[in-house]
Structure 1
Amino acid sequence: MKRIYKAALSCVLLAMLVLAGCKKVDVGYLSDNIRYGSNPVVAERGVFKIVTGIIPDNSTPPFKITVLDVRNKATGQREESFFKPSEITVWKEKYDPKTDTTLALIDAKRTKEMRLPLQVIEKSGQLMFTQATEGVPVGEYLLDLKIENPNGTKEYKGITTIKINDPLLYEHVNAPYFILVDPKDGSSKRYPHDVDWFDISKQQSANMTFKVTRDANGPNQVILKVYDKNGAVFPGKALERRPNGDSFLNTMATFAYKTTVTETSVIHDYAQARFPDVYWDSQPNNILCYYRIYDKYIESVDYVDTWDPPYKITYQTDPKSYILQMRFGMKFNLPGTYLVEMHLTATKKAGVN
């Protein structure tokens, strides 16, 4: 009988434990352990970014999430720049680089508004960094939130660290290279190491160097200028599209809504940073640009004689003129006017009228 009693008691206790383990979280439960998946949350000054919302730790929605404060992590003092709105460009409708091909079409989709550098989506806690972060100093900051749900309100001091960095104004996505094409028979050869070496600190490859300058207050343009080894500038019309069967490969003009060819450059007007738009990342050849300079513009090219980059690179001149085929890819991350000066360190321009 005692055995039956003990067995029954064990079953009751087991059932109670199972029920306790299956107990639902009270409606309105608000955890002390709400957090973000990233700590720190990293953003770049002047660059739009949305960060995933809170991890609620079984807290029950709906939530009302607001910013209490943003404090300098080193001093604990409120960082006022997060609470000063600035005028930024806002898209009223989604930008489509395939159809929004004129300034009128683009301007119809956007407007100017005053926005704070940081906004929190009330129901999800997503952090939205706007272009107004350009006015926030580089540094680390503590984010304080207030979260409400049907059961009450709690404050979460230092729920995550926000790290604000200076952005890369521009980036190279590959090592630029040249192909020399014989205009007589179409045979080609490449410079040695031209796809294996690019000194980013010097903006230098085997046969070209880049110099990029930005005017933050200028219109959204990329101005491409190409020079020979002696500093003579090629006319804009010399930078022709590279054939690809019955069509042509991409150039910067593919990504711009307007392209203007001048005596000394090619000017590309773009709608928004990042340029080229992220749409192109998933397209064939993505944002790579391919150009051809025909032999009538080339007096001579140099081939590599001694190769020990970056300490020693010497060339010997080949008097034969070639067609030059170039490939490079660049991203421009903030709005403004960029002057991209490309110096062909192994090429001499011909005296073309």
Structure 2
Amino acid sequence: MRKFLIPAFTLLVLGAINCKKIQQGFLSETLRYTSPDLYAQRGLALVQSAKIFADGSTPPITFELLNLRDSSGKPLSEAFNTKYDVTVFKPGMSFNAETDTTVALLNAKRETVSVLPMDFNTSSGQLSFNKAALNIPLGIYNFDIKATNSAGSRVYPSFGRIHVVDPTQEDMFLIEDNVNNAFDLAGTTFAKRNPILKFSRVSADGARIILKISDKNGSPFNPSKGEVIARGDRPTFLSYAKFNPVIFTDTALVCDFEVAPFPLAKYIAGGTDWGHLIYYRIPEKNIIFDGSSLGTLNANLRFAFTIKMEGTFIIEYQLPDAVRVPAP
């Protein structure tokens, strides 16, 4: 039998290969957010960034936020490290529109806690801002990230930029539904043009909605004289906030909703999920639609929106194809 001799040099090479330390895990050089520019809208109940994209890095990964500084490189504003009082629901407590019918009942479910305006999630890399962020100075803040996993640790300089800004109208107000149907006395439905819905925040005080419903000429309907009424089988403002009565003035419906966001929860009744829908009616004696005559069609208004922060808001709801007929 022929014998093959393995040279000593080959044995040494094989031994060296066998003794080489196996790399444990992988930590990418290109961790990132979807965008390095993160926005914190001051005063909103909750603003969250995206998670850090791990780019195939071996989990679990622990993230650390480092060297938070302003755009000129100066140290972090003390406002980031100061705790502020905010009102939140107690652990395990949530809003119920049917039973939380007074401010006292609402407050029994809430408490005041001291929190930092910003939180950093070390598992996902998400940045979260709460109502206390109202105290953070406007500006741009840069930061680095340190990531650690089984492969080791790596620091990523200038990983992201936090833009602390005041919320825009789009940040504060979300339109979810906005239609108008007309009904004749026999109950036949006639689709009409969608109303024009405008929104403005006129004050940071309180938690109030002033809804002004007007015709195509800008003449406001008068709720105090029955020109705008509730529909008995559909949700209204009171379905979402029973803390205070809705005020019917000569130009508007006024709802004091107490706590944002409004609505705090969907309205579900009789097995029907209404979402955030709100309905009101303009009687046929107070409206003339284009192409119709007085007393033939009433207007069934339907809208839904979310207001994401406290304050006083004016909502203008204009019917572009109808004229108001004032009540005597």
Change (3 A) 1:337 1:44: same
What do the CA deviations read for 1:153-200 (whole angstroms, capped 9, x no partner)?
A: 9865433332344433213224x33222112x2223223xx25xxxxx
Choose from 168, 173, 178 the match for 2:176. Answer: 173
> For residues 276-287 of structure 1, what are the structure 2 equivalents within 5 Å?
276-277=263-264, 279=266, 284-287=273-276
Once residues 201 and 120 of structure 2 are traced to their aligned partners in structure 1, the CA distance between those partners, rounded to angstroms, is 34
Q: What is the match of residue 237 of structure 2?
A: 252
Residues 95 and 106, structure 1, Cα contact 8 Å, conserved in 2: no
Once residues 128 and 44 of structure 1 are traced to their aligned partners in structure 2, the CA distance between those partners, rounded to angstroms, is 11
Choose from 247, 256, 262 the match for 2:248. Answer: 262
Q: Unaligned stretches of 5+ in structure 1?
A: 196-204, 304-316
Once residues 281 and 39 of structure 2 are traced to their aligned partners in structure 1, the CA distance between those partners, rounded to angstroms, is 40
User: Equivalent residue of 1:180, what SS?
Assistant: strand
Letter of the structure 1 residue corresponding to residue 297 of structure 2? Y
Change (3 A) 1:187 1:115: same
Once residues 146 and 218 of structure 2 are traced to their aligned partners in structure 1, the CA distance between those partners, rounded to angstroms, is 63
> For residues 12-161 of structure 1, what are the structure 2 equivalents within 5 Å?
24=24, 35=31, 37-40=33-36, 41-47=38-44, 48-51=46-49, 57-58=57-58, 65=64, 67-73=65-71, 75-80=72-77, 81-93=79-91, 94-98=93-97, 99-121=99-121, 125-136=125-136, 139-144=139-144, 157-161=157-161
Question: Deviation at 1:224?
Answer: 1.9
Question: Deviation at 1:129?
Answer: 0.8
Q: What is the match of residue 198 of structure 1?
A: none
Residues 35 and 160, structure 1, Cα contact 8 Å, conserved in 2: no
What do the CA deviations read for 1:64-104 (whole angstroms, capped 9, x no partner)?
A: 94x5442234x233352434544432332342234433311
Change (3 A) 1:69 1:44: same
Change (3 A) 1:319 1:125: closer
* % identical equivalent positions: 24
Once residues 242 and 344 of structure 1 are traced to their aligned partners in structure 2, the CA distance between those partners, rounded to angstroms, is 18
Letter of the structure 2 residue corresponding to residue 90 of structure 1? V
Residues 52 and 126, structure 2, Cα contact 8 Å, conserved in 1: yes
TM-score by length of 2: 0.72
> For residues 172-321 of structure 1, what are the structure 2 equivalents within 5 Å?
172-174=175-177, 176-183=178-185, 185-191=186-192, 194-195=193-194, 205=195, 208=196, 210-217=198-205, 219-228=206-215, 229=217, 231-236=219-224, 237-242=226-231, 248-258=233-243, 259-264=245-250, 265-277=252-264, 279=266, 284-298=273-287, 300-303=288-291, 318-321=293-296
Q: Unaligned stretches of 5+ in structure 2?
A: none
Q: What is the match of residue 337 of structure 1?
A: 312
Letter of the structure 2 residue corresponding to residue 91 of structure 1? F
> Across the two proteins, how many residue pairs are aligned to each other?
307
What do the CA deviations read for 1:313-336 (whole angstroms, capped 9, x no partner)?
A: xxxx74454211112222212211
Change (3 A) 1:157 1:91: farther
Once residues 278 and 345 of structure 1 are traced to their aligned partners in structure 2, the CA distance between those partners, rounded to angstroms, is 31
Change (3 A) 1:277 1:232: closer
TM-score by length of 1: 0.68
